[in-house]
């Protein structure tokens, strides 16, 4: 696990530079040897040619000629023991030689380049024969001289690397710091925010690599903002909706305490029970509404049988319909009734739609439920014989706490708001219409057909 991006990049880049420099140094060392060997061989050829020229020259100033020969004989102090030359005539007589290695004879060296061990040292030898004057010129050089030259070059490269390494470190540190500046800026902006400030972070001047992170952070801020607003709304809604039931509950309880007549007391207590039921219903609806924000994504989505789920919910609501002598009927299922969704949420939707139909249908009325299979949708349809909803109010009834004036049925005004949110979460559609007989309301919820 990377604990610090800065130090990870710094160490990784410096280690990469070190490895690359080491590979480069080894490569240069091997390359230098390949380049140096031919170059030094050419030097031997040139020295041999120079000696040859001096050997047969008669016009050159004798002093200059002797000085050059002395220079070749003695060479430099560093290379004196590592370089030698000899000039032999056809009678195996040594005409000229360097001062070092006086007892070494190279007259048998083959013409051209060759290698030979002399007193335990490896020498590179070049021999040439001048037919014009009949002399054989041999020039030799120790291999150690060549290796020392390659080592000196490699050592110089290493010294340069050691000198420039701190500069590399500073440059890498500066570049990494510059690259992480945008992350530091975002961190500073977020750390300086108040806990209630949940506006998105600006995406200008942010590298493309961290834009997805900032975008997801902005989405989180949006979700948190909506959640906070929903909680505020829940508190305000609860305070608003529970004020009246609690006041009525208190009034009925006071009446029951002050009543001397048992019949009046029982009526007051019955009103207390009704107020408690109403308050419980409002609280349950508010809690459901607070959990089903439009910005949420439902979990545990799966294929489910809409007709089977509707059967279970209607069986639960049937006693309420019987209390009003309402005939509630579920039509036989079509061939296909499978939709993709959350069974708990769709169960709440069915319960609210059917419960509304029962509430707003007069006694001795009728509520029909059916599942319709179309080419693209599975429609959950509820038709009642109630008063219906005017066309101009069919959108407003889905607003929170909105209730049509003059409605005598009890309710909180939240049921259809919950239905609307569940429908949106399932990418379904709601359609309200008047039944063909012109009486009541037809409530359709069209779910996309499930395809495996």
Q: How do the pLDDT tens digits run along the chain, 452 residues long?
A: 566 777 777 788 878 877 877 787 777 666 656 667 777 778 788 878 877 776 666 544 455 555 555 655 554 444 445 778 888 888 888 877 776 666 778 888 899 988 888 877 888 888 988 888 888 888 888 877 777 777 777 777 778 877 877 887 788 888 888 777 777 777 777 777 777 777 777 767 677 777 787 888 888 888 888 777 767 766 665 665 566 567 667 877 888 888 878 887 888 788 788 778 767 766 765 666 566 654 455 667 889 999 999 998 888 788 888 888 999 999 998 888 889 988 878 888 898 899 888 988 888 999 999 999 988 899 999 999 988 888 888 888 877 666 664 455 555 566 788 788 888 888 899 999 999 888 999 999 999 988 76
- pLDDT of 65 reads 52
- pLDDT of 63 reads 54
Same fold: 211-291 with 302-448:
no
Q: What is the CA radius of gyration of the chain?
A: 51
CB 306 within 8 A of CB 346: yes
In sequence order, the 6+-apart residues with CB closer than 8 A to the CB of 81 are: 100, 101, 142
- pLDDT of 76 reads 45
* C-alpha–C-alpha distance, residues 104 and 121, integer Å: 12
- Output the CATH code of domain 302-448: 3.30.565.10
* C-alpha–C-alpha distance, residues 60 and 328, integer Å: 135
Tokens of 370: 């059916």
- pLDDT of 295 reads 46
- pLDDT of 411 reads 53
CB 154 within 8 A of CB 28: yes
> Looking at domain 211-291, which of 1.10.760.10, 3.40.190.10, 3.40.50.300, 1.10.287.130 is its CATH number?
1.10.287.130
Confidence (pTM):
0.46
- pLDDT of 422 reads 84
* C-alpha–C-alpha distance, residues 199 and 221, integer Å: 7
What's the CATH architecture for 5-166? 2-Layer Sandwich (3.30)
CB 446 within 8 A of CB 377: yes
Task: Please count the other Cβ atoms lying within 10 Å of the Cβ belonging to residue 300.
Answer: 9
Q: Look at the alpha carbons of 105, 107, 109, 111 in this order and tell me if their dihedral is positive or negative.
A: positive
Task: Say if residue 104 is exposed, middle or buried (CB neighbours under 10 Å; 0-12, 13-18, 19+).
Answer: middle
What are the φ/ψ torsions at residue 52 (nearest 5 degrees)?
-65, -45
Domain coordinates of the chain in residue numbers? 5-166, 211-291, 302-448
CB 350 within 8 A of CB 389: no
């Amino acid at each position: 696990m990377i604990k610090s991006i800065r130090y990870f990049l710094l160490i990784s880049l410096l280690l990469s530079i070190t490895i690359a420099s080491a590979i480069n140094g080894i490569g240069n060392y091997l390359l230098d040897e390949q380049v140096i060997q031919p170059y030094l061989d050419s030097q031997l050829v040139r020295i041999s040619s120079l000696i040859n020229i001096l050997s047969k020259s008669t016009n050159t100033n004798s002093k200059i000629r002797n000085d050059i020969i002395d220079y070749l004989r003695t060479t430099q102090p560093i290379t004196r023991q590592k370089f030698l030359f000899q000039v032999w005539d056809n009678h195996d007589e040594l005409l000229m030689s360097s001062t070092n290695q006086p007892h070494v004879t190279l007259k048998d060296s083959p013409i051209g380049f060759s290698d030979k061990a002399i007193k335990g040292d490896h020498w590179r030898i070049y021999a040439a024969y001048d037919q014009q004057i009949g002399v054989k010129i041999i020039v030799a050089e120790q291999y150690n001289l060549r290796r020392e030259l390659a080592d000196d070059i490699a050592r110089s490269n290493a010294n340069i690397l050691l000198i420039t390494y701190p500069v590399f470190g500073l440059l890498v540190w500066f570049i990494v710091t510059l690259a992480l500046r945008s992350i530091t800026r975002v961190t500073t902006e977020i750390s300086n925010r108040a806990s209630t400030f949940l506006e998105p972070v600006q995406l200008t001047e942010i590298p493309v690599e961290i834009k997805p992170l900032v975008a997801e952070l902005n989405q989180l801020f949006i979700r948190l903002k909506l959640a906070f607003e929903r909680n505020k709304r829940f508190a305000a809604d609860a305070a608003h909706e529970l004020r009246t039931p609690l006041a009525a509950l208190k009034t009925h309880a006071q009446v029951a305490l002050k009543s001397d007549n048992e019949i009046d007391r029982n009526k007051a207590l019955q009103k207390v029970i009704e107020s408690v039921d109403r308050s419980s219903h409002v609280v349950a609806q508010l809690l459901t509404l607070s959990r089903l924000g439009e910005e949420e994504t439902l979990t545990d989505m799966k294929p489910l049988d809409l007709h089977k789920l509707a059967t279970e919910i209607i069986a639960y609501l049937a006693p309420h319909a019987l209390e009003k002598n309402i005939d509630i009927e579920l039509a036989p299922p079509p061939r296909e009734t499978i939709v993709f969704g959350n069974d708990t949420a769709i169960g709440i939707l069915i319960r609210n739609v059917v419960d509304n139909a029962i509430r707003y249908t007069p006694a001795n009325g009728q509520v029909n439920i059916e599942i319709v299979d179309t080419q693209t949708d599975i429609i959950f349809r509820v038709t009642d014989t109630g008063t219906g909803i005017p066309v101009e109010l069919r959108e407003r009834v889905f607003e929170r706490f909105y209730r049509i004036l003059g409605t005598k049925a009890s309710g909180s005004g939240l049921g259809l708001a919950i239905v609307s949110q569940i429908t949106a979460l399932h990418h379904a559609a709601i359609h309200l219409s008047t039944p063909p007989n012109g009486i009541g309301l037809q409530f359709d919820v069209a779910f996309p057909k499930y395809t495996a």
